[in-house]
Amino acid sequence: MEKNDIYELSRLLGNKDGLENDFSNMITMFRDTLQKKYLQKLHATADQRQHAVMEHPPREVTLLRAMKAFTNDAGKQQMDNMIQALLFMQTIQNINQDVSLLLENKEQTLQAMEADSAPTPSSFDSQARMTGLLVTLALANII
């Protein structure tokens, strides 16, 4: 008897467990690829920006840290919350400044990029802004 390809294919597609496992493997590979290629880089960039602000905090944070020694426990907790908020806001401002600087120097940036990977000047603006937004979301641990 001849091998029937339709029969073999029907049997393969009818195997619910095999199909579910294949889709599960595809989703896992897709998730891992997104994590490695994009999310880890976004989080690393957000962490770098946050670390830079913590090493060079704004004056308000330095003042709050100095005042903390003269407050009670509840006051210290409130000041810690304010310090965290100020550091977070400063980090977001720094990210926005980086995006603005990138947009101001669009011509030089596009020339420096490889010709095959350089976006069009019109799409460059939206890409830069989207990158800033994604780094900000990573900073907030939303993505």
Structure-block tokens of residue 135: 């780094």
Phi then psi for residue 117, to 5 deg, are -110, -5
CB contact at 8 A, 90 and 53: yes
pLDDT tens readout for residues 22-59: 889 999 999 999 999 999 999 999 999 999 999 999 99
Q: Where are the domains of the chain?
A: 40-139
| pLDDT tier at 2, thresholds 50, 70, 90 | low
Tell me what percent of the chain is helix, strand and coil, each rounded to the nearest 5.
Answer: 85, 0, 15
| Nearest-10 crossing angle of helices 121-139, 73-104 | 170
- Report the alpha-carbon distance of residue 128 to residue 48 in Å, rounded: 18
pTM: 0.74
**Pick from 48-62, 77-91, 95-109: least confident:** 95-109
